[in-house]
Structure 1
């Protein structure tokens, strides 16, 4: 990501985080236990919400984002380890993690299906897979507007796709979705899933 985007991310998102997103993040991660994998940890917004985890391993490929998140690791209630890696190639052994978390990240990963398959590989069988993502809305006008705006939005926001069908991508990756909670006119989804090993992964 560009330096300016990394530096502006927290100030730009702060009003929304305080009003709505913080509540969703807390519900998503606060009760997760064991060793947690967080994909695309960004500036470390989630770190303060972990309460029960033994450890959080936070993967973030962007050096600017990692630098900004380093201070949040010191304030977190649980140990947080920052790892420089991409979601499509995770440097961990199979069946390492007790749960995985991703918030507002699958929209930016170049190959999200590959990243989801990697998440499945490194997580234990039946591990919770927890996501909060924005997606393409299944409405004619708004959906087409997202399609139209995405090329420009990607340039402004370092690869963020407004029109990804994240639930479809998860199903293609063999992930079993347990619950979906919709927010902000269905644009944002809180997704709870489990890592069923042995399911066929579609490429």
Structure 2
């Protein structure tokens, strides 16, 4: 991730957060229960939105972890922020009640491996709460995203505009219970569960 993007992430995302994303995050995170694992917590934008849970948040980038400390203090629930790689989670099997990921699967090098790891550490029938952007199924828009992705990845820390994240989630064995597509079907909110236990 380029230094400029890391340092200015909140400012760059502020218009989208104000217009759309903050409402989506609030509604989704209200469904979190118990001990939560948030993957790719970034600058901690979700932290003030949690209620009645305990959160372990992993973020591989030190700059973003440092920025998130302010929001840890603003949160109304206990939040522990740690260095971590979603593809190789250090937690024991069946540790968490809920796994949260928001706008993160686009930039993980191997999202299938990461999702399988999330399943491993999530309890049987535990909740998956995911908010992601995906490749559009509109032929013209989808092709445009394909063309833009190589340059986009270089600018924004490996972010893939054109990942078919819904298919990857299904391939990981997650049971999708609800899926809501929005904004020209580029963004998706998924609620799912862990049917256990084949990784």
Compute the TM-score of the two structures, normalised by the length of structure 1. Answer: 0.96
User: 1:32 maps to what in 2?
Assistant: 32
Q: Which runs of 4+ in 1 moved over 2 A?
A: none
User: 2:119 maps to what in 1?
Assistant: 120
Gaps of 5+ in 1: none
Aligned pairs for 1:179-190 within 5 A:
179-190=178-189
Distance in 2 (alpha carbons) for counterparts of 1:102 and 1:149: 24
Pair 1:155-2:154 in alignment: yes
What's the secondary structure of 2:166's corresponding residue?
helix
Distance in 2 (alpha carbons) for counterparts of 1:169 and 1:117: 10
Distance in 2 (alpha carbons) for counterparts of 1:179 and 1:33: 17
Question: For each residue in 1:69-95, what CA deviation from the matched residue of structure 2 results, as whole angstroms up to 9, or x when unmatched?
Answer: 111101101011011011001110000
Compute the TM-score of the two structures, normalised by the length of structure 2. Answer: 0.98
Contact 1:30–1:52 (8 Å) recurs in 2:
no
Number of residues of Structure 1 aligned to a counterpart in Structure 2: 199
Contact 1:93–1:122 (8 Å) recurs in 2:
yes
